[in-house]
Each structure stands twice: as C-alpha cells, then as structure tokens.
Structure 1
Amino acid sequence: MSRHFTRLTPEYFESMFQGTEDPWNLETSAYEKAKHDHTVRMLGSGEYRHAFEVGCARGMLTCLLAPAVQSLLAIDVSGTALRAARKRCAFYKHVMFANMQFPAQAPESDFDLIVLSEVVYYWDDTDIRTAAAWVADHLLPGGVIILVHWLGETDYPQSGDEAVDKLQDALTGCVRIERAERCGEYRLDVWRRTP
C-alpha cells in the first residue's frame, strides 16, 4: 500500500460518501460505537461552552457530543455527509454545521473543546503545522483537545501515531498531555491548553 504524500482532497471524501451511505460503518459498527462512547467519556464532567468538531462525517459522534456542550460547530469537507449530519442532529438547536476544509479554512472563534477524531492522519506535514498554529491562537486557556486515531496501516499521509506525535511536537509549550491511551485498534489522547 503506497502512501499519499499530500493531504487528502475534499473530492476523496465526497466520493466516499456518495459511493455508499456509511463508508466507514460509523453507524453500524460496534467498534465505532465503543470508540465514540469512550471519546465522550473522556470529556469528564466539565462544562464546555464552545466546542469544535473537525470531520463530523454523518454526525454520529456529533450527536453524542451535543448534550455535553453549550454550543458546537461541526465541520466536514463533504456536502453529502453534512446533509446527513444536519438531519441526524436536527433536535440540537445549539449545533451548527459548516462545509470547511480545515485547516486551510478555519473559524475565527475561540473554543474550549476541539475534537479531532480520525482526521489528523489525512493531513500532510504543512497542514499539521497550520492546524497547530490555529489551535495555539484559538484554544482557550484550560481548553481541551481530544484526538482519536486508528492505528492500522493506511495509505493516508500519516499513520495514527505519526499524526498525533507531529501535532504534539508542533504544539510544544501550548498543551500538556492529560491522557494517552492505546485501546486495541485505536489511540485516544487528551491534551489541555496551558495557561
């Protein structure tokens, strides 16, 4: 399997979501459900005012995050996925959606929770540095980043471990590691913004 050297394009994801309703079995897989539940448990009992989810896909994790936050901006590069996510999360009036290719496109707001679930390994090294610079400017002091990445072999620009390690290196001095768990096929990392 040969690796992509540059970020995966919006067309890559749009074709995935147009090709099948659930390309990664996010809606039907027991593995995905357990991983999403684990992600939400890592939020703890803290109250988050402004949350940002990158790569919301069809909104499975978004619906689980929504009750734990006061406002949530969920983005994806696929319009097809976003239509499904909006429908799934219609009950939650405090959840907003946008079609964005992060980190090239990014909100100007500040957040106290950023969720990067299964996305950083789609980025090339330049994207990781760009994302880190944005996080440094837009994650509030004491704010939390949750990262979740599959550890299997892919053709993405980064492996799960490379993605997390490179983003951590780019954020040296900005965040401290609170949790770093390896859970079978995936890793889950929780970082907190230093004051």
Structure 2
Amino acid sequence: MRPDASLPPSYFENMFAADPDPWRFESSAYERAKYDRTIAAFENRRFRRGLEIGCANGVLTSRLAPRVDELIAVDVSASALASARRRCADLAGIRFGQMTFPEQAPPGEFDLIIVSEVAYYWSDRDLNAAGHWMSEALAKNGRVLLVHWTGATDYPQTGDEAVGKLAQAATPFIWSVGAERTESYRLDIWERAP
C-alpha cells in the first residue's frame, strides 16, 4: 500500500548517506538517455533563471547549467547537495539550497522550472501546493519541464498520477505545449498561459 504523506527528508538523506548515487544517475543508460532527451527538449533556448527541484547529486544540474544564466538547485538531502556542489564546482551560475519543496521554495520568478523524478514522492496536498506555486512563480513565456518514470511505485503517486494532479492544480495558469512517452518515462512541457 502506498503512503498518503509525502516521503520525509530523512528517507532521501538516509539513501544518499548510504550511497552517493543510490539511483545510479551517474552510470545508468536509462538516466543518460533521459537526460539527453531532457536537454534536447529545450531546443536551442537559453533561460535567464531556472529552478531544479530535487537536484540529488547534481548529474542533471551539471547538464542544465550551460543553458541557464542563474540556476537554483534544491534538494532535501544535505549529503546529496554536498555531492552536487562537488560535481558542479567548476560551473558558473549555480546556487544550491537545502529545501523541502513545496513547503519551502526560493523567492522570485523563474523562466524554467525542472521537476525531474520527484513529483511522485509528494502527497496530494503537496502536489496541489506545488501546482499553485508554479502558476505564480513561472514567468511569462516560461517553461516547466517534467520527467517521470511511468512504472509502478510504492511512493505516494505514480508518475502519471503526479503529473495529472500537478496539471490540475496549475490550470488555467499553465498549459501543456508538449508531451511524449517512452517505454519507461514521460516528458511533459508546460508554458504559462498568455
């Protein structure tokens, strides 16, 4: 039976404290292909200010940084953030923060929000709060990029449930401008409604 509450920060801290790469972000062919597709989804667009929610050990962060002038990467795990800071030490324009999103969120407006493999850890209440926050924080012509595994989970949501509930909470302020599905993950692109 899946939990009703969002997974606590201690779940992620324990994972990263025991293994700096518990989901094999550095070595998995699945992750590499997914990151390639995530970056390709930007086309040639460059972003002024981005937020990566759940940056983990910074593998995707290091690939996002060259496309974003100012990138704020947040995670709940201090151990994961320490790894991310080391990985991205030579890259300009990245700021890291330990936050439990959506309860905590950085201030200001973003023209890119990345939600990659994290929304299914959230409760219905947190998905609703996250969707409302995105509808306020996304700049005009900004983009939200969501990427989630579509297999069965023992988390509060499946990938499909999480994206659907986020979309419901963000409507009518944000709308879908692209979606694709592979055998193992879905990629969704949202923009702020004009």
Q: Could you state the TM-score of these two structures normalised by the residue count of structure 2?
A: 0.98
Query: Which SS does the other structure have where 1:15 is aligned?
Result: helix
The residue aligned with 1:116 is 115
The residue aligned with 2:38 is 39
Q: Give the stretch that moved more between structures: 84-93 or 72-81.
A: 84-93
The residue aligned with 2:142 is 143
Contact 2:20 2:83 in 1 (8 A): no
Unaligned runs of 5+ in 2: none
Give the Cα–Cα distance (whole angstroms) in 2 for the partners of residues 109 and 91 of structure 1.
Answer: 25
Shift in Å, 1:194: 1.0
Aligned partner letter, 1:168: A
Shift in Å, 1:21: 2.0
Report the count of equivalent residues.
Answer: 194
Give the Cα–Cα distance (whole angstroms) in 2 for the partners of residues 98 and 176 of structure 1.
Answer: 28
The residue aligned with 1:94 is 93
What's the C-alpha RMSD, in Å, of the aligned pairs? 0.7
Say if 2:28 is the partner of 1:15: no
The residue aligned with 1:28 is 27
Q: How does 1:59-78 map to 2 (within 5 A)?
A: 59-78=58-77
Give the Cα–Cα distance (whole angstroms) in 2 for the partners of residues 126 and 176 of structure 1.
Answer: 21
Give the Cα–Cα distance (whole angstroms) in 2 for the partners of residues 51 and 26 of structure 1.
Answer: 21
Give the Cα–Cα distance (whole angstroms) in 2 for the partners of residues 21 and 173 of structure 1.
Answer: 39
Aligned partner letter, 1:18: A
Aligned partner letter, 2:178: R
Say if 2:61 is the partner of 1:83: no
The residue aligned with 1:152 is 151
Contact 2:20 2:79 in 1 (8 A): no
Query: Which SS does the other structure have where 1:39 is aligned?
Result: helix
Give the Cα–Cα distance (whole angstroms) in 2 for the partners of residues 136 and 177 of structure 1.
Answer: 13
The residue aligned with 1:172 is 171
Give the Cα–Cα distance (whole angstroms) in 2 for the partners of residues 152 and 61 of structure 1.
Answer: 21
Q: Deviations over 1:6-42 (max 9, x none)?
A: 0000000000101112110111101101101110111
Shift in Å, 1:102: 0.3
Shift in Å, 1:115: 0.1
Give the Cα–Cα distance (whole angstroms) in 2 for the partners of residues 69 and 155 of structure 1.
Answer: 34
Give the Cα–Cα distance (whole angstroms) in 1 for the partners of residues 91 and 21 of structure 2.
Answer: 22
Query: Which SS does the other structure have where 1:162 is aligned?
Result: helix
Aligned partner letter, 1:182: R
Contact 2:122 2:157 in 1 (8 A): yes
Q: Deviations over 1:23-72 (max 9, x none)?
A: 10111101101101110111111120000000000000000000011110
Stretches (4+) displaced over 3 A:
none
Give the Cα–Cα distance (whole angstroms) in 2 for the partners of residues 153 and 81 of structure 1.
Answer: 25
Q: Deviations over 1:129-186 (max 9, x none)?
A: 1111211111001100000000111111010000000111111111121111111100
The residue aligned with 2:161 is 162
